[in-house]
Amino acid sequence: MIDSANDLIWGSILIYLLLGAGLYFTLRTRAIQFRRLGFAFRTLINSRGTGGEGISSFQAFCTSLAARVGTGNLAGVAMALYLGGPGAIFWMWMIALLGMSSSLMENTLAQLYKTNNGDGTFRGGPSYYIEKALGQRWLGVLFSLCLIVAFGLAFNSVQSNSIATAMDHAFGLTPWVTGALLCIATALIVFGGIRTIARFAEIVVPFMALAYLALALFVVVTHLDQMPAVLKLIFESAFGIGSAAAGGTGYLVSQAIMQGIKRGLFSNEAGMGSAPNAAATATPNPPHPVTQGIIGMAGVFVDTMVICTATAAIVLISGELESGHNLQGIALTQSALNGLVGSWGGDFIAIAILLFAFTSIIANYYYGESNLRFIIDRGWTLLLYRLAVLGMVVYGTLASLPTVWSFADLSMGMMAIINLVALLLLSGVVFRVIQDFEQQIERGQVPHFDRRQFEFLDRSIDKDVWVPTDAEPGPVPESQPQPRFTTAEASARD
């Protein structure tokens, strides 16, 4: 039953909903993910240490990237290549480029409708803007429950299982020892709260990403003569060029599209509603909700266009895909790296999995905490949740998880559908806020958000967030034409 539900959601509903929403947002924002990508990286680099008592944009970015960058970047890409061929990478790129606009929308909404924790930090996400903007708390609770099951519990078991398997194969470390060490390390961080999680992500995530990219760059540079052939193979396979003689071209292309889209969505999570939980924690600079929305786009770009592409380059340059070994998943990535750099490549992948998966556990935990506090914000419930997370981390190192994985897929699919419907209903609000942001940039101003210019937002967001100051621009003069509410915003307002 779970598998049938997953086939329906992922094969017939969610893929088209994600693609359609991404294309709509791209057209309505005039492809902002391409026009403002440079701004995103410049702002991101300059945002370290700018959060004051709160969380900086850089820390929030690293927390969201910690959840995104996991075993899927190493094993998932290899699986897409195995099942869909080299052309799957092209379609993975396409879904990421469209998904960047969906990421902008959800992260901007998370900033608008965040909740003040009263200690200089914030929390928020889809549950919060579903309740505050749409007035549907029951739907926000349903989203939160799905996220807690998928990210807080099930996916953390999957991540710890990957770590235990890698440690056992590379270093002979028994699973129960790995489980105990992971439990202790996780407890030390999660009991420290969001500030500890953000500081941990700020240090570890850039290190692990740069180390893996440095190795991939070394492989590419030392095999630079093969790169034109690799790129040609990706583009030709994406459209079935050159494979007609072998027959089954339509099937090969459909597999490339399906696997590229599915693995891309699993990897970058654009539109899923998970990353906004990290985006809401930030105190962005410049002080405008769209600042964090644009930085969120950069997370999708780094995850898919950079890290996933690095894995694809390693596998395709190695030739392991055509070797007849019938390897798939992480075994294919390990074998490819072993063939390119020597036997230490497998050990490096094991360490990479440890870092990638452990940071995912920490970020996934926080996503669940934020959503649990949306449902019921009590100290005893938070303690029970933390103990449950630690238990699932240990369980994952000792058990086989096919049913857990399938149920997590179902929960994530349901939360993605809920989030995308909310994004479409509230898109008119976000389009106006984006327009305000871009108009200020075009006038040569540092963007500041003034909630008083948006009647609907001023009524629906919390009174202790985005508090107007004298330094911010005042209301637009009456003589200046103001944008009208869109149909989607009017529906949300009603």
Q: In the prediction, which pLDDT does 15 show?
A: 77
pLDDT exceeds cutoff 70 at 483: no
Contact 416, 273 (CB under 8 A): yes
Q: What percent of the chain has pLDDT over 70?
A: 87
Residue 480 falls inside a structural domain: no
- Which of the four pLDDT bands, split at 50, 70 and 90, describes residue 245? very low
Of residues 474 and 352, more confidence is placed in 352
Contact 14, 417 (CB under 8 A): yes
CATH code, domain carrying 284: 1.20.1740.10
- Which of the four pLDDT bands, split at 50, 70 and 90, describes residue 408? confident
Q: In the prediction, which pLDDT does 161 show?
A: 81
Calculate mean pLDDT across residues 236-243: 73
Query: How many Cα atoms sit within 13 Å of 440 on the Cβ side?
Result: 20
Q: Within its chain, how far is the Cα of 472 from the centroid?
A: 32
pLDDT exceeds cutoff 60 at 485: no
Domain that holds residue 289: 2-424
Q: Cβ-count burial of 337 within 10 angstroms (0-12 exposed, 13-18 middle, 19+ buried)?
A: buried
Tokens matching residue 300:
């999708």
For the chain, what is the HEC assignment?
Answer: CHHHHHHHHHHHHHHHHHHHHHHHHHHHCCCHHHHCHHHHHHHHHHCCCCCCCCECHHHHHHHHHHHHCCHHHHHHHHHHHHHHCCHHHHHHHHHHHHHHHHHHHHHHHHHHCCEECCCCCEECCHHHHHHHHHCCHHHHHHHHHHHHHHHHHHHHHHHHHHHHHHHHHHHCCCHHHHHHHHHHHHHHHHCCHHHHHHHHHHHHHHHHHHHHHHHHHHHHHHCHHHHHHHHHHHHHHHHCCCCHHHCCHHHHHHHHHHHHHHHHHHHHCCCCCCCHHHHCCECCCCCCHHHHHHHHHHHHHHHHHHHHHHHHHHHHHHCHHHCCCCCCCHHHHHHHHHHHHCCHHHHHHHHHHHHHHHHHHHHHHHHHHHHHHHHCCCHHHHHHHHHHHHHHHHHHHHCCCHHHHHHHHHHHHHHHHHHHHHHHHCHHHHHHHHHHHHHHHHCCCCCCCCHHHCHHHHHHCCCCCCCCCCCCCCCCCCCCCCCCCCHHHHHHHC
52 Ramachandran zone, left/alpha/beta (phi>0; psi -120 to 50): left
Query: How many Cα atoms sit within 13 Å of 475 on the Cβ side?
Result: 10
∠ at Cα 10 (9, 13), nearest 5°? 55
Calculate mean pLDDT across residues 52-74: 75
Q: What is the mean pLDDT of the chain?
A: 81
Calculate mean pLDDT across residues 106-125: 90
Q: Within its chain, how far is the Cα of 354 from the centroid?
A: 19
User: Could you give the angle at which helices 37-46 and 289-300 cross, rounded to 10 degrees?
Assistant: 100
Contact 253, 236 (CB under 8 A): no
pLDDT exceeds cutoff 90 at 468: no
| pTM of the shown model | 0.82
Q: How far apart are CA 312 and CA 216, in angstroms?
A: 10
Calculate mean pLDDT across residues 375-392: 88
Q: How far apart are CA 72 and CA 68, in angstroms?
A: 8
Q: How far apart are CA 300 and CA 306, in angstroms?
A: 9
- Which of the four pLDDT bands, split at 50, 70 and 90, describes residue 237? confident
Lowest model confidence (mean pLDDT) among 104-118, 210-224, 236-250, 391-405: 236-250
Instruction: List the one residue out of 74, 72, 70, 68 whose CA is nearest residue 315.
Output: 74
Calculate mean pLDDT across residues 386-404: 80
Residue 358 falls inside a structural domain: yes
Q: In the prediction, which pLDDT does 478 show?
A: 39
Residue 356 falls inside a structural domain: yes
Of residues 454 and 76, more confidence is placed in 454
Q: How far apart are CA 317 and CA 230, in angstroms?
A: 7
Q: How many domains does the chain have?
A: 1
Tokens matching residue 455:
């009647």
- Which of the four pLDDT bands, split at 50, 70 and 90, describes residue 471? very low
Q: In the prediction, which pLDDT does 106 show?
A: 94
Q: In the prediction, which pLDDT does 66 show?
A: 75
Q: How far apart are CA 395 and CA 493, in angstroms?
A: 45
Q: Residue 321 — φ and ψ, nearest 5°?
A: -65, -30
Residue 306 falls inside a structural domain: yes
Q: In the prediction, which pLDDT does 482 show?
A: 39
- Which of the four pLDDT bands, split at 50, 70 and 90, describes residue 193? low
Residue matched to tokens 């990957």: 162
Residue 452 falls inside a structural domain: no
Residue 419 falls inside a structural domain: yes
Q: In the prediction, which pLDDT does 421 show?
A: 93
Amino acid at 241: I
Lowest model confidence (mean pLDDT) among 84-88, 319-323, 443-447: 319-323
pLDDT exceeds cutoff 60 at 413: yes
Residue 487 falls inside a structural domain: no
The string of pLDDT tens digits covering residues 316-357 is 888 877 655 666 666 777 778 777 777 777 777 778 778 878
- Counted residue by residue, the chain has a size of 494
The string of pLDDT tens digits covering residues 133-171 is 999 999 999 999 989 988 888 888 878 887 887 777 777
Residue 478 falls inside a structural domain: no
Q: What is the CA radius of gyration of the chain?
A: 22
Lowest model confidence (mean pLDDT) among 315-319, 364-368, 478-482: 478-482
Q: In the prediction, which pLDDT does 27 show?
A: 94
Q: In the prediction, which pLDDT does 293 show?
A: 92
Instruction: List the one residue out of 126, 89, 103 whose CA is nearest residue 36.
Output: 103
Dmax over CA atoms of the chain, in Å, equals 73
